[in-house]
Amino acid sequence: MSIVITGATGQLGQKVIADLLAAGVPAGEITAIARSEEKAAGLVVMGVRLHVADYDQPETFAKAFSAEDRVLLVSGTDVGRRTAQHAAVIDAAKAAGVAQLAYVGVFGGPKAEFLLAGDHHATEKLILDSGLPYTFLRNNWYSEMYLTDLPGIVERGVIANSVAPGARIATATRDDYAAAAAVVMREDGHLNTAYELSGDIAWSQEEFAEELSRQVGKEITYTSVTGAEHKAILTGVGVPDAFADVLVDVDDAISRGLLAGTPGDLSRLIGRPTTPIADTIAAATTS
Ligand SMILES: NC(=O)c1ccc[n+]([C@@H]2O[C@H](COP(=O)([O-])OP(=O)(O)OC[C@H]3O[C@@H](n4cnc5c(N)ncnc54)[C@H](OP(=O)(O)O)[C@@H]3O)[C@@H](O)[C@H]2O)c1
């Protein structure tokens, strides 16, 4: 038996493996799937098994799995192409008849009516059609995504996006989501279940700006712009046109309340409250 993690060299995958090891899963019972042997060297040093495979090369997954394996499919990053990529993994998992296929998808599952969710809907359907025992980890947004341009935000003193005033989003940190994934991979009792994973407390852009202002000691204002204005800002800093549309559409989904849900699945799975956005801001401002 092995717990097999795809995307193992990515930020989420690495945290899941670290959590499994910290929980006492022997390194030799974990298999990392990565497309770069070089990038996975640190995992191999720890005793984690490595299988090199690329979502774009289905044949590389041919011998990746055994019937006893519990597999975590971490979704890829090529938005719009991911369904075909994930199909390669699902087909190989089905051929092996794995014991569990867990998938990192998006909050809301079939109710997530926005562009970025399309690949996730289609992937969940392929998994259901495969007949394999599944676990759906439907993640809300990572809190860290709002702090990737912290120096720029502080310099400009403005956060501008097309989220409607007052609309809320229930983010959590990568650590929180990784902890949940590690739990469902190492514990029994999570088969044929979909978890809606989000932060315990939904926050608005105005509250985020207020907390950030307090922590950095400078007034940061929040401005809600139109979708067209938001797209112009994004393409102006080099975001490709099609992906700018996807990001504007995400803000529209937030404005419609689609990412504000706080069902509590995440804190229940990890046995502690999720990380408040103020803590994520503090981590970013002190790093
Ligand atoms: N909810 C959110 O806010 C949010 C934000 C960002 C991403 N996501 C989703 O969550 C997933 C995990 O996030 P993350 O932060 O861990 O992203 P990440 O650091 O970019 O990791 C993505 C992983 O997928 C691997 N990958 C990409 N294309 C591949 C291919 N063709 N074949 C094999 N492996 C491939 C990458 O391999 P390399 O290490 O070789 O690059 C990497 O290990 C993402 O892939 C994305 O679907 C969600």
Q: For residue range 23-60, list pLDDT tens digits in order.
A: 999 999 999 999 999 999 999 999 999 999 999 999 99
**Where exactly are the structural domains of the chain?**
3-141+173-197, 144-168+200-260+275-286
Is there a common fold for 3-141+173-197 and 144-168+200-260+275-286? no
In this structure, the residues whose C-beta lies within 6 A of any atom of ligand 1 are 7, 9-13, 35-36, 39, 54-56, 74-77, 85, 104, 139, 141-142, 145
Instruction: Report the CATH architecture of 3-141+173-197.
Output: 3-Layer(aba) Sandwich (3.40)
Angle, CA of 263, 266 and 267, to the nearest 5°: 95
Residue 160: per-residue pLDDT: 96
Instruction: Using the predicted structure, report yes or no on whether residue 1 has a pLDDT greater than 80.
Output: no
Segment 145-173, tens digit of pLDDT: 999 999 999 999 999 999 999 999 999 99
The tally of CA atoms less than 13 A away on the side-chain side of residue 163 is: 23
What is the chain's Cα-based Rg?
19
Task: Output the six-digit token pair for 19.
Answer: 């959590």
Which CATH number describes the domain made up of 144-168+200-260+275-286?
A: 3.90.25.10
Best mutation site among 6, 74, 171, 198 for ligand 1 pocket (most ligand atoms within 8 Å of CB): 74
Rounded Cα distance between 168 and 207, Å, is 9
Residue type, 27: A
Q: Per-residue pLDDT averaged across 98-108, rounded?
A: 98
